[in-house]
Amino acid sequence: MHLLFVADPLEAFNPKKDTTLAMMRETASRGWDVWACEPRHLQWRGGAGASGALRARCRHITVLDAARPWFAEIEQADRALRDFDAVLMRKDPPFDSEYFYATHLLEQAEREGARVFNSPRALRDHPEKLAILEWPELIAETLVSRDMAALRAFALEHGDIVVKPLDGMGGSGIFRLRSGAGGAPDANLGVVLETLTDWGRRTIMAQRFLPEIVDGDKRVLLIGGKPVPYALARIPQGGETRGNLAAGGRGVAQALSATDLAIAERLAPVLAARGLLLAGVDIIGTRMTEINVTSPTCFVEIAAQTGCDVAALFVDALQLALRA
């Protein structure tokens, strides 16, 4: 088997917790050849005398047992993506214009015979903040708008809200706004809304604050249409509102609650049927807050704390998908 990872630069990986590396280690342990490239290496050329195939400058690597260096490069080669048994799109967010263009190129590779996971079209169809809108009964009170008057009214209605950009990651750009005594608006309400919406030119999301965040923002992984039995609760530290690991949250693995499992079992087969082999559902308390599809993580933390080999579950699902 020959597997290509489309990802961030290999040198930027954090060997202690990188989920893409966990996938690479598992595939290598099964005797698969591991290759990697970055989205900037994707190229397509057509017309008279051209191959008409999506190609990339790829690095063939050996995955090492050591933390650093964790890989050794065997060779570099110009390869057509359709020549690999599977292509895994694992580029981290943000989902910017270049990511968008990469999904179109990968979709072209699919037309040429490549097997790409997650599906490039599904990546485009499920923006991570907005994908939850399909299941309004599972989420907290939410407003998506760039109208500052509507956002201000939402803040006054609920008293304690969170506002965030639609293209943020790792907790960046998230603000909690609380009304004061007598319902007076948060002193920073105006400037936060002006900044996040760029004076009404950029759409954002506002949600009722969920006090259950003190127990963690749970990442529930869905693999091949089934939930992983453990979630990673990202628990805020040091007075923070955000539980994101990138914002200093502490990751605690725990068995899925009855509500977590109900949400996961409802979404898992739907998302899998749309081409999302791997997705990460974020849940605070009993409410879903995001659906992560670009580069879901937490494999290493869950495996280390519970013994559940999430990477093995993923590669098992990948093998089944390739046989389909």
Which residue is catalytic, options 218, 234, 244, 301?
234
Active-site annotation holds for 234: yes
Active-site residue, 8 included: no
Q: Considering 219, 244, 260, 301, which one is annotated as catalytic? A: 219
Set 38, 107, 167, 282: catalytic member: 282
In sequence order, which ranges of 198-288 are alpha helices (DSSP H)? 258-273
Query: What separation, in Å, do the N-terminal and C-terminal C-alpha atoms of the chain show?
Result: 16
Tell me which of 186, 217, 290, 301 is the catalytic residue: 290
Active site residue 282: yes
CA separation for the pair 269, 256 (Å, rounded): 17
Q: Is 188 annotated in the active site?
A: no
Alpha-carbon 322 to chain mean position: 22
Work out whether strand 217-223 and strand 175-178 pair parallel, antiparallel, or are unpaired: unpaired
218 catalytically annotated: no
Catalytic residue among 79, 91, 164, 218: 164
Distance CA 302, CA 288 (A): 20
66 in Cβ contact with 115 (< 8 Å)? no
Of the residues 186, 242, 260, 287, which is catalytic? 242
DSSP 130: G
Q: Which one is catalytic: 25, 59, 79, 129?
A: 129
Residue 278 and residue 6: Cα distance in Å, rounded?
Answer: 15
Annotated catalytic residues are 129, 164, 219, 234, 242, 282, 290, 292
